[in-house]
A and B are shown apart, each in its own frame.
Chain A
């Protein structure tokens, strides 16, 4: 039995290769001299080849099925009919685009229709997945400029999205939060457009100032990339707050700062190690290594379903300072430290009340 099995495919391979060779020769003669081309002979060769292939896969029925799909004219007609009934993909795309995109974007490139289209996904994350609890939403003013300053964590910026959705869902004024996005995002294809259409603006002093002067509500993460790439062992420990740009911005625009503490985001991707050498050719700031990420492939990129709490603190006014104080480095530094300690305190208080990472 064993020997028979061994012999059979070998013989078949040789015969099928011989047939293929003959077939190619026949085709070559067709190209050289089409008149002397013998159709019957080619047909015979093809039939022989199919027979050989059948013999090779004797036990399998699927080859018969596939062959019958292509050989019976009825089925072929049916397939063609079905294909004809399919709508033109270009038309489908045009219709879908009319639903997804609005006619015009606002002055920063945010598209309200597109935002609404993808909002259900973020709503699912907000209500069902992270089960976000929002506290102190009354501290967010219903109108006028204000600057939200928050801790930043979790490798991917889910925290910015959740603060945005939280303010939109829970606040009676349904305010549209503008979040500032790091430069490197705008180098990337698709990602930059996506961030821009859902209301992200490049993080730079000029943009933040303009937004606040137009009485928008802006969220800032002064920790930046350093916060996002915090290792798991340093969770809930605030990093350095940049060079005091936040305070300078508040002094310039006279916008009150609302400290925000996000609890739960620091555990969604427990970062063990980060590699910046591997990330350099990709133009990324770092490549994260978590217990799951490169190991489980794309599955590892799913965040852990931790229970979140977003805490909005009392607004800190900056009316008492004049524009001259912007150049006072010591004052800026002191205020930055004060802001940092306020947020750290909020985090610590909330953490002491939390019993479980996943159930709150």
Chain B
């Protein structure tokens, strides 16, 4: 099968290196590349190998710490060794972290090292995975934010601040080395069976905290669509920034209703400090500083991706969310099933023990 397929002229000599294989986007692109018959092998550089590394036969994994001192030179060397032409940056963290100093190192210094290594190794293409959260949530946003809009000038949350800084570094790479083709993909919230981010973790339970009196329009992207877009960006050449978002918008409360979840509205002035405290105690997946994203508009315009990349999401925002909620419910049933079967076994064991002693 693999031998029959003829690789397209663009991909024939392309050597793809993926950095950040343990994020959702990394996992998705690994899956897609493995399944693609046109690709013979691809490389991945990271601190930890992917969780399901046995599955990938074409993957060549190289272990390396990307934030240690001198990592940029090492990375450039490795890239030259491989003869890499395409570098995929997918290390962007899914979740805000309580250890924000570490997260900053990973996000900003990691990107800095990658950018300077890309410059030194003279790669052909740099694919950078970002998020639409960099625009910031504000009542002053237009309904659909275009790619040309400025990024959030004063992000409150460390999580967003790091991402904005990483974006700036990639922009500086564009200035320093215009010959490198840079594709920046800004993904909206990715929901699905595999993705675990601050949003999906918050929406695990049946009762979901919301902000009293605010019901922002949200955009959700299914994992399949996200993988489609990333694969397209890696295999074909598109220069510039693209918003990768789901079709249409859905108000948060409508999405909750469709997914049969119950919103628990909290007044804003209570919610911010209380949720910040709960976050500090690690009882919630969302810091209070990120609550603006559940309050105001931050919907991005996906028209450019449709026009230039010819990317159209298969699922609408609502469908993606409902699908995700269905999967979660199934998972809960599975958990119950496991628990009940374990209880049965324990009962049997006790009965046997009782019989023996009796």
On A, residues with C-beta under 8 Å from B are 97, 101, 103-105, 107-109, 183, 186-190, 192-193, 196, 201-202, 204, 206-207, 210
Contact = CB atoms under 8 A, between A and B. Distances in A.
Nearest to B247: A107
Given A192-B139, A202-B139, A206-B144, A105 B213 contact: no
Interface string B125-155: 0000000000000011111101001000000
Contact of A105 (B141, B144, B254): B254
Interface string B204-217: 00000001111101
Interface in B209-230: 211-215, 217
B139 A186 contact: yes
Contact of B214 (A97, A103, A108, A193): A193
Given A109-B217, A193-B215, A104 B142 contact: no
B249 A204 contact: no
B258 interface: yes
B251 A109 contact: yes
B212 A108 contact: no
Contacts of A210: 142-144
Contacts of A101: 254, 257
A187 B139 contact: yes
Contacts of A187: 139
Contacts of B217: 105, 109, 196
Judged by DSSP, the binding face of B is loop
A104 B248 contact: yes
Nearest to A109: B217
A201 B214 contact: no
Nearest to A193: B215
B267 to A, nearest CB: 8
A206 B296 contact: no
A189 B139 contact: no
Contact of B250 (A105, A189, A190): A105
16 contacts: A103-B258, A107-B144, A183-B140, A186-B139, A186-B296, A187-B139, A188-B213, A189-B213, A189-B268, A192-B213, A201-B143, A202-B297, A206-B143, A207-B143, A207-B144, A210-B142
Contact of B254 (A104, A186, A202, A206): A104
A252 B140 CA distance: 22
A30 B297 CA distance: 58
Given A101-B254, A105-B254, A107-B248, A206 B214 contact: no
A206 B142 contact: yes
B161 interface: no
Contact of A207 (B142, B250, B268): B142
Interface size, B (range): 20 to 34
A350 to B, nearest CB: 34
B318 interface: yes
B70 to A, nearest CB: 45
B321 to A, nearest CB: 12
Nearest to B142: A206
Contacts of B143: 107-109, 201-202, 206-207, 210
A164 to B, nearest CB: 18
B48 to A, nearest CB: 41
Contact of A103 (B215, B249, B254): B254
A110 B48 CA distance: 47
A104 B139 CA distance: 22
Contacts of B141: 202
Given A105-B254, A109-B249, A186-B296, A193 B213 contact: yes
Sorted nearest first, the 3 A-B pairs with minimum C-beta distance are A189-B213, A206-B142, A186-B139
A114 to B, nearest CB: 11
B258 A202 contact: no
A183 B140 CA distance: 6
A201 B217 CA distance: 12
Given A103-B254, A104-B318, A183 B139 contact: yes
A188 B142 CA distance: 17
A187 B141 CA distance: 12
A166 B139 CA distance: 29
Given A206-B142, A207-B143, A189 B212 contact: yes
B153 to A, nearest CB: 17
A117 to B, nearest CB: 15
A204 B140 CA distance: 9
Given A97-B257, A186-B296, A189-B213, A105 B251 contact: yes
Contacts of B297: 186, 202
A183 B141 CA distance: 9
Contacts of B212: 189
Nearest to A206: B142
Interface in B293-351: 296-297, 318
